[in-house]
Chain A
Amino acid sequence: MISAPDVVAFTREEELEDELCSEPPLPEEYSVPLFPFASHGANPWAKVAGSKFTRDFILISEFSEQVGPQPLLTIPDDAKVSGTFDLNYFSLRIMSVDYQASFVGHPPGSAYPKLNFVEDSKVVLGDSKEGAFAYVHHLTLYDLEARGFVRPFCMAYISADEHKIMQQFQELSVEFSKASECLKTGNRKAFANELEKKLKDLDYTRTVLHNETEIQKKANDKGYYTTQAIEKANELASVEKSIIEHQDLLKQIRSYPYRKLKESDFHPYEPECALDQANAGCDQDLTTSDLAEPGETHLYAHVPSYTPKLIKAKSAKCFDKKLKTLEELCDIYFFTQTLDQLHQIERTFRGDVCYLLTDQISRALLKQQSVTNFLFEDVSFLDEKPPEKQYRGCQGLSQDAVDRKCLEESPAPKVVISLGSYKSSVECVPIKMEQEIEDSQEPKMTDSVTFEHQENLDYLDADIKGSISSGESIEVLGTEKSASGLTKSESQASLPVSPSPQVGRSKVGSRRTVSEDSIEVLSTCPSESLIPEDFKASYPSAINEEPYVDDEEGGLRFIPKLNLDNADEREDVSKQENLVQVDSACCIGKESPNFLEPLPDLGQKPCDEDGVVRIPPQPYRQAEQGLHGSFGGFPSHDGISGGLLPYELDSRYLTGNREVSKSSLDECSDSMSYISSAASTCSDRTPSPAHPACQASERHKKKAGQNALRFIRQYPFAHPAIYSLLSGRTLIVLGEEEAIVKKLVTALSIFVPNCGVYAKPVKHWVTSPLHVVDFQKWKLIGLQRMVSPAGVNVLHALSRYSRYVSILDADSKTLRCPLYKGTLVSRLADHRTQIKRGSTYYMHVQSILTQLCSKAFLFTFCHHLHLPISEREPEESVVNRRMNFLKLQLGLANEDIKIVQYLAELLKLQYIQEPGRGVNPLLRFDYVPSFLYKI
């Protein structure tokens, strides 16, 4: 890990202050002004003055239709965290900036209530008075009893540090989208259940009413209706209307684009079966051509048996009714999942932003050092994608999944899947439109209509492609081809070509949807300074399309290779565009406005036997590539070879240049509009990241660092012991007490180079005699000292193999190992170090070890140091050159050379290792005398 121990070392420590005081004071002009809050016992990182809460927390609020904005819960659920901070006031603030404008209810021109599948909106909000800054994630949940069936909620990450929110915006967005998606999935499930119950009730009520009417009819044969009968008839009618309404709602909620979930690894509740059922449903569809989606029906099929009850036809929407709690709104499984996720978010983003950033940067850098990073780093945690790369990972994953599925499945489901991966903000538009239109037709629809549907799929196809290419245009814009700038507008224009009256609205809808992805910096602070110029530029509002063009100069760094790809893609795009236009043109003539089918239906239809619709598999593949490309500055999954990645990252991380960092932010922002909208898709796919493990290892590091620090202070012969570990000589910690030995082993384990990417070669506790195989496998062993005859064997084995091992006797505090006269270890383990904290020391060790790694890398990969320049060159001169390099170039003294040589051997072994086989475990040793150190 690359870290800055010097900086972190300035944490508050009493001893340090004492030492500072004892030194003669500096002249006034040279002294650094003291931190103003130092007198309060605070360090500069403690907290921003003025904030009323002690640390970051997550707040979930609701805009209740009854009581207005109200806080629901905080994470961590601890009153101390929020302190005197006014949650109610803040809830009001954050709920007042919901830009979703989710319109629900009876839209004009439609007879039935509509559900909106709205995207979440993400907003950054600041309140300088409160000293609080928040990332606010708005979402809506469905509730049958709520007004318009929706209840707006928001999740907010509240921090006193504005920079943290701004700089971690992307990561926060990704993480919160995951949580939100989880919550919403659970909510839809609960909502569908509720609807089904309600439908049963209504059905029952209708039967009862119907019977009553019949009875009345029979009883009354006078030829005219009594008021009672009319009332009953009216009631019946209204129940029937209600049934239709609710059926419609149920259908809508089921028509939610579940393909998003189907291909994901996310929904752990019913992962494979849903897919299978969907496919099964698809097969059924071929025969039945029914509009209903059997696959989705199954999703909600397992509702426990429910006894319907008589209800009033008119559902009461009154204020005295108690609204459901958040728990009740969501399927319990998903609710707990969501909470877990939020807790995880809280843990992940805990701490100072500099720490988070350093962590992210060092991770990114470490990832590049694929040749050396295994030596001292826990490579397993590198596999976990850092948040900003998450999307890439997802994409790759999804593509794999797609590819796999494509192989397995018939063309029909293939399309379903492919569509799923294109989910973009624009895609939501047809859904909405379609519902508006199609639902109005719904009651009239019979099986005979299906033919039309099949034909209309054509349009749908076009429509979707339009949305794809529009998504792509972001990337195309970045290639500085002015022509490509038109692509977007064109492709979008292809949508409203249809002369149907709904077009206007759909356009509005689309804009709105896009706008939901916009990020806005709001602030209650009157000064402009709160909104840094950089961020304004870097988070352009998606409504406004111009900024993309402006950003061209911002240095969207396209790698030439990618450009080539893009060029190809552009061709594809234009091809697709032609397709789109042709297709949409075909549709213009259609008189029936119900050409827009719910997207999920699409997947289940394209195989209809008339063959009207043949979605060729190729365009989608290219389109998919295009999407990768559209990632702008982000190295796409398959677009860039691994070799180009370092450059990319270099420009982003290594250069302190503001211009560059700005451009990198621009890159982010470009992909952002996609990410944020697609987050729901991809986030689902990522199983919850291994953060808990990370946390654990963090704790372990801290502990190990602390123990190591203690070891260094306690044992004057720490240096030769550490030298043993670094030079690959197995160190055995011998002792009677398991706890003491294990503690020492933990402490020393931070100095042990890994032999491969697997676990550290550390064995904490052994009771049996050691063998030569053990030294091959383990480089640090805790060994039990026993008095029994078995113990004698153990010691005998030790003395026998003494040439391979160094022995640290924890009981008598002695060390038997070779002499160390180098200088490296003394920097690594200075017993007079001022470092007090375990984690700081750990970082210090890591930074020195990283330096060491780079030396070893240099040494390993210098050709002439190992092999003769010419064939006739004698071996001795190579050896001389090698030693000179080690001594003079790398500045290594005495035994330090052996450390680098050992690391170099490890690097070589790792590099030349055949992929299939593991590293051949070999034991290298020297014939050097050992010495006994005593305290």
Chain B
Amino acid sequence: KSSVQTIGEEQIQNPYTELLVLKGHQDIVRFLVQIDDCRFASAGDDGIIFLWNAQTGEKLFELRGHTHKITAIAPFSSSDASEEKKHLILTASADRTVIVWDCTSGRQVQKVSCFHSTVKCLTVLQRLDVWLSGGNDLCVWNRKLDLLCKTSHLTDAGISALVELPKNCVAAAVGKELIIFRLITSDDGSEGWNVLEVKRLVDHQDNILSLVSVNDLTFVTGSHVGELIVWDALDWTKQASECNFWDSSVHPDVQPEIKLSQSPNETSVQHLTSDEECVFAAVGKGIYVYNLQMKRVIACQRTAHESSVLHIEKLPNRQLISCSEDGSVRIWELREKQQLPAEPVPTGFFNMWGFGRANKQANQAAKKTQENTPVYFLELVGDLIGHSSAVQMFLYFGELGLATCSADHLVILWKDGERESRLRSLTLFQKLAQNGDLQVKF
């Protein structure tokens, strides 16, 4: 029996009452990237990139050019004030190429195929108008796709994550190490850049899986064994670290069975996201909220999903969305704990076949700490079930909805049914007026 919290079928706070299945991919869809207010791109192991309209679910373009799976994707919009904004996307593939696509025309703008290894991450430094590709080495490119400079071969494993830091620096996660590079203008005075390795940080015990910048002063890394380290973005010193996500001694309310079933996989920090106050970490099956000021975990959901959480994101309204290998997407809300945890709502779930998650964890699994500090907990306010396989990623589009992509080759657009209904009415009456059917005929 799993100990995952369930919400049942009555989800008052869940706005998503309409879904659109977007079909097109023939393999696992791994990436979703927002292009502008109403468009997004999806890419995955079939090497095809699709552009979608987030409002209508219409397939705008099908971008074919890669022969292998896509390994990284990044939006690359031009910042030229003179022209109208041009939306480009960069895609890197296992075929060792990077292609620049024009999102307006759906055409391939340019293709770079001089890589010696697969590019695993792409970062655009808007400020410098360059972009970086990270594979076995780090390359710096300008908008015209000229190679400006590159580092020497780093490792065979290659760079797994890149994040931009202040002062023209980038942090690259290379295996267990975190390497800080700095871009400096080249000596010959041309517009070229040179890249210099500034520092190597070797505080992690295991491979760094996630790397996220919190603000101009801080960035956070998470590793495979569950270490979370908060770094100073300016002098690259360790500000704080949390590596006891799995340690039951810190969390006295943890059930022993969880401890038993521990494995590195269960504690790896899969994904990190943050707002100004907190860092939200997807650790194994659970979600942890780490407060940067208090320098400790303020709330957690130890088994938020039945299997590894792959992606989490913070919404503006104190809500958090997570998706997992178990194929579900869950919406959480960070709440202050009352004296007693609220009794969960009876679900009325009739379990006909014995597959349901009947035994529900009554405990909201909030963390008990000192009495004088406010205690938070993550309340499950809704779940989205649609995918039949691991949900790799999702993209929050505000009121337009939520796009999720999955290993079942589908992209699902979740929408607020009320809003959609209203919009349809609007369209209907517009069309009526347009057709002239509004004139009453007697």
Check if A814 sits within 8 Å of B352, measured CB to CB: yes
Do residues B424 and A909 form an inter-chain contact, with CB atoms below 8 A?
Answer: yes
From B23, B355, B417, give the contact of A796 (CB < 8 A): B355
Question: What are the 7 closest A-B residue pairs judged by CB atoms, nearest first?
Answer: A866-B425, A929-B348, A927-B11, A932-B350, A799-B355, A908-B424, A772-B386
Judge if B14 is at the interface, Cβ distance under 8 Å.
yes
CB pair A924–B441 under 8 Å, yes or no, is no
| Interface assignment of B431: CB less than 8 Å from any CB of chain A | yes
Contact A772 B352, CB 8 Å, known A863-B429, A920-B57: no
Contact of B17 among A773, A798, A807, A927 (CB under 8 A): A927
Residue of B nearest to A863 (CB): B429
Are the CB atoms of B350 and A928 closer together than 8 Å? no
Q: Is A911 an interface residue (CB 8 A)?
A: yes
Interface check B12, CB cutoff 8 A: yes
- In the bound complex, what is the Cα–Cα distance between A926 and B12 (angstroms)? 10
What's the nearest-Cβ distance from chain B to residue A749, in Å?
24
Interface string of B321-363 (1 = CB under 8 A from A): 0000001000000000000000000011111110110000000
CB contact under 8 A between A911 and B431, given known A924-B17, A927-B10, A927-B17: yes
Partner of B20, one of A796, A798, A905, A920: A920
Q: Check A921–B422 contact: CB distance below 8 A.
A: no
**A773 pairs with B21, CB closer than 8 A:** yes
Sample 16 A-B pairs with CB under 8 A, ordered by A number. Answer: A772-B19, A772-B386, A772-B387, A776-B19, A776-B21, A799-B355, A860-B428, A866-B425, A867-B426, A867-B429, A905-B424, A911-B432, A920-B20, A927-B17, A929-B8, A932-B350
Q: A908: which of B17, B386, B425 is its contact (CB, 8 Å)?
A: B425
- On whether A931 and B431 interact (CB within 8 A), knowing A771-B388, A795-B355, A908-B425, the answer reads no
Provide the A285-307 mask, 1 if CB < 8 A to any CB of B, else 0.
00000000000000000000000
Q: Which residues of A contact B431 (CB under 8 A)?
A: 911-912
Q: How far is the CA of A797 from the CA of B408 in the complex (A)?
A: 14
Bound-complex Cα distance A458 to B90 (A): 75
A796 vs B353: C-alpha distance when bound (angstroms): 8
Task: Tell me the bound Cα distance from A773 to B408 in angstroms.
Answer: 11
Pick from A803, A908, A912, A932: contact of B352, CB below 8 A.
A932
Residues of chain B with a CB closer than 8 A to A814's CB: 352
A-facing residues in B419-442 (Cβ within 8 Å): 420-422, 424-429, 431-432, 441
Report A899-935 CB contacts with B as 1/0, cut-off 8 Å.
Answer: 0010001001101100000001111111111111000
Q: Which residues of A contact B20 (CB under 8 A)?
A: 920-923
In the complex, which residue of chain A has the Cβ closest to the Cβ of B421?
A: A905
Contacts of A860 in B (CB 8 A): 425, 428
Chain A residue numbers with a CB within 8 Å of B408 are 771
Rounded to whole angstroms, the CA-CA distance of A799 and B353 in the bound complex is 8
Which residues of B are found within 8 Å of A920, using beta-carbon distances? Answer: 20, 56-58
A789 at the interface (CB under 8 A from B): no
A residues contacting B by CB (< 8 A) are 643, 646-647, 771-773, 776, 795-803, 807, 809, 814, 816, 860-861, 863, 866-867, 901, 905, 908-909, 911-912, 920-932
Residue ID in chain A nearest B347 by CB atoms = A929
Is the C-beta of B18 less than 8 angstroms from some C-beta in chain A?
yes
Besides A867-B426, A912-B427, A925-B18, 14 other A-B contacts (C-beta < 8 A): A772-B387, A776-B21, A799-B353, A801-B385, A802-B9, A807-B352, A860-B428, A922-B19, A922-B415, A923-B19, A924-B417, A929-B10, A930-B350, A932-B352
Interfacial chain B residues near A931, Cβ < 8 Å: 348, 350
CB closest chain-A residue, reference B23: A773
Q: How far is the CA of A771 from the CA of B410 in the complex (A)?
A: 11
Which of chain B's residues have a CB closer than 8 A to the CB of A927? 9-12, 14, 17, 382
Q: List B contacts of A816 (CB < 8 A).
A: 350, 352
B interface residues, tally (CB under 8 Å): 47
A647-B441, A929-B8 known; A772+B21 contact, CB < 8 A: yes
Interface code B10-31, partner A: CB below 8 Å = 1, 0 otherwise?
A: 1110100111110100000000
B155 to chain A, nearest CB (A): 41
Closest chain B residue, CB of each to CB of A803:
B9
Q: Is the CB of B385 within 8 A of A803?
A: yes
Q: Give residues 48-87 of B contacting A (CB, 8 Å).
A: 56-58
Chain B residues, Cβ within 8 Å of A646: 441
The answer to whether B412 has its CB under 8 Å from any CB of chain A is yes
Q: Which residues of chain B are within 8 angstroms of A866 by Cβ–Cβ distance?
A: 421-422, 425-426, 428-429
Q: How far is the CA of A681 from the CA of B139 in the complex (A)?
A: 79
Q: Which residues of A contact B348 (CB under 8 A)?
A: 929-931
CB distance from A932 to the nearest CB of B (A): 4
CB pair A926–B17 under 8 Å, yes or no, is yes
A372–B132 Cα distance when bound, in Å, is 56
A residues near B327, Cβ cutoff 8 Å: 800
**Residues in chain B near residue A799, CB distance under 8 A:** 351-353, 355-356
Q: Which of B347, B412, B426 sits near A772, CB closer than 8 Å?
A: B412
B19 to chain A: which residues have CB within 8 Å?
772, 776, 922-923, 925
- With A772-B386, A772-B388 known to touch, is A908 a contact of B428 (CB < 8 Å)? yes
Which residue of chain B lies nearest to A917 when distances are taken between CB atoms in the complex?
B58
The interface centre, meaning the residue of A809, A901, A922 with most chain B CB atoms within 10 A of its CB, is: A922
Instruction: State the CA gap A797–B385 with chains docked (Å).
Output: 11
- Verify A912–B18 contact, CB threshold 8 A: no
Q: A772-B388, A803-B385, A909-B424 are in contact. Are A924 and B350 (CB under 8 A)?
A: no
Report the minimal beta-carbon distance from B266 to chain A, rounded to whole angstroms: 23
Interface residues of B in 173-232 (CB under 8 A from A): none
Residues of B within 8 A of A911 (CB): 428, 431-432
Which residue on chain A has the smallest CB distance to residue B346?
A: A929
Cα(A863)–Cα(B438), bound, Å:
10
Which of B9, B18, B356, B385 is within 8 Å of A928, CB to CB?
B9
**Hey, which chain B residues are within 8 Å of A796, CB to CB?**
355
| Cα A665 to Cα B427 with chains together (Å) | 42
A797 to B425, CA, bound (A): 34
Which residue from chain B places its CB closest to the CB of A769 in the assembled complex?
B388
CA distance A926 to B11 in the complex (A): 9
Q: How far is the CA of A927 from the CA of B240 in the complex (A)?
A: 42
- In angstroms, Cα B21 to Cα A471, docked, is 59
Q: Do the beta carbons of A929 and B349 come within 8 Å of each other?
A: yes
List of B residues within 8 angstroms of A924 by Cβ: 17-18, 417
**Distance A800 CA – B347 CA, assembled complex (angstroms):** 15
CA–CA, A799 to B388, complex, Å?
A: 12
A378 vs B353: C-alpha distance when bound (angstroms): 37
Docked CA distance A541–B429 (Å): 51
Cβ of A916 to closest chain B Cβ, rounded Å: 12
Which residues of the partner chain B approach A809 to less than 8 Å between Cβ atoms?
Answer: 352
Could you say which residues of chain B place their CB within 8 Å of the CB of A926?
Answer: 17
Q: Mark B382-395, 1 if CB is under 8 A from A, else 0.
A: 10011110000000
Nearest Cβ on chain A to B173's Cβ, whole angstroms: 36
Please measure, in the bound complex, the distance between the C-alpha atom of A927 and the C-alpha atom of B417, giving whole angstroms.
Answer: 11
Name the distance in Å between B346's Cβ and chain A's nearest Cβ.
9
B133 to chain A, nearest CB (A): 36
Chain B: which residue is nearest A913 at the CB level? Answer: B431
CA of A800 to CA of B357, assembled, Å: 10
A932 to B415, CA, bound (A): 29
CA distance A861 to B431 in the complex (A): 12
Candidate in A801, A814, A927 with the most chain B CB atoms within 10 angstroms: A927
A802 to B383, CA, bound (A): 13
- A912–B441 CB distance below 8 A: no
Q: Which residue of B lies closest to A878 (CB)?
A: B422
B350 surroundings in chain A (CB, below 8 A) = 816, 930-932
Name the CB-closest residue of A to B429.
Answer: A863
Task: Verify A923–B18 contact, CB threshold 8 A.
Answer: yes
Kindly list chain A residues whose C-beta atoms are within 8 Å of the C-beta of B425. 860, 866-867, 908
Give Cα distance in the complex from A911 to B425, angstroms: 10
| Chain A min CB distance to B125 (Å) | 39
Distance in Å from the Cβ of A373 to the closest Cβ of chain B? 16
- Chain B residues with Cβ below 8 Å from A801 are 385
CA distance A912 to B437 in the complex (A): 13
Give, as a whole number of angstroms, the nearest-CB distance from A801 to chain B: 7
**A932 to B349 alpha-carbon distance, docked (Å):** 9
